[in-house]
Amino acid sequence: MADLSTLARPYAKAAFDYAFEHGVADAWEDFLFIASTVVNDKSFHDMLDNPAIAADQKVAALVDLYDTQVATAGDTPFKELLASTNAHKQEDTSYPSVSAALKNFVSQLAGQERLALLPEVYEHFRRHKTRAQKQVDAYVTSAYPLTESQRALFQKRLTDSLNATVVIHESVDPSLLAGATIKIGDKVVDDSMRGKLKQLKTQLTA
């Protein structure tokens, strides 16, 4: 039997082609991220396997959760989770409700008992969007939280050097002491104090 990633690939391609053509790729990506997070939760995963619950009920649960927890006024844990991914830049903090087309896509997955594929669909969808927009994910780990000026400097230097739209994903690791590391794909640039001390130690003991 094909693995989940292989099964998810055609669904993700069809979803992205539609969303990109209609200019709603960001909205679909947001929903797929939240839906994949929910599907990975054990309690919801158990519901997916429950034959007593109809497919349309499962779809309604996902859509209602998104509409009430994300496409709503005010802060919610799901909205904060979505904002923290920095998957794309929003001019404001509002998110649209699930569209009829998106709901229809989820209904097709449910009707074919494929809702469990949502996490893989999201990953493939995100890769399609990255390639289409020539977008690069840069993972910056710093000893201290970046300031606005530092963030802007990283953004400019990476954008200029890569000639692409760069999305910075930030994390903090105090053990770096100072500076930062930058990971893009399988390449890592270590400009941290810890890294420099390690290099110095290697040179001294060589």
Q: What is the pLDDT of residues 77-118, one digit of tens each?
A: 888 888 777 555 454 567 899 999 999 999 999 999 899 899
Q: Is the pLDDT of residue 22 over 80?
A: yes
Q: Is the pTM of this model over 0.75?
A: no
Structure confidence at residue 64 (pLDDT): 93
Q: How confident is the model at residue 72 (pLDDT cuts 50, 70, 90)?
A: confident
- Strands 165-172, 180-184: pairing kind: unpaired
CB neighbours of 15 closer than 8 A, spacing ≥ 6?
28, 32, 105, 121, 125
Q: What's the sign of the alpha-carbon dihedral 55, 20, 39, 68?
A: negative
**CB neighbours of residue 96 within 10 Å:** 14
Tell me the domains of the chain and their CATH numbers: 4-132 (1.10.520.20), 135-205 (3.40.30)
Is pLDDT above 70 for 1?
no
Give the pLDDT of residue 179.
79
pLDDT (tens digit, 9 = 90+) per residue, 150-178? 888 888 888 888 777 788 888 888 887 88
Coil, helix or strand at residue 182: strand
Question: What is the SS3 string spanning 119-165?
Answer: HHHHHHHHHHHHHHCCEEEEEEEECCCCCHHHHHHHHHHHHHHHCCE
Per-residue pLDDT reduced to its tens digit, 171-204: 888 887 887 888 887 788 777 667 666 765 666 5
* Gyration radius of the chain over CA positions: 20
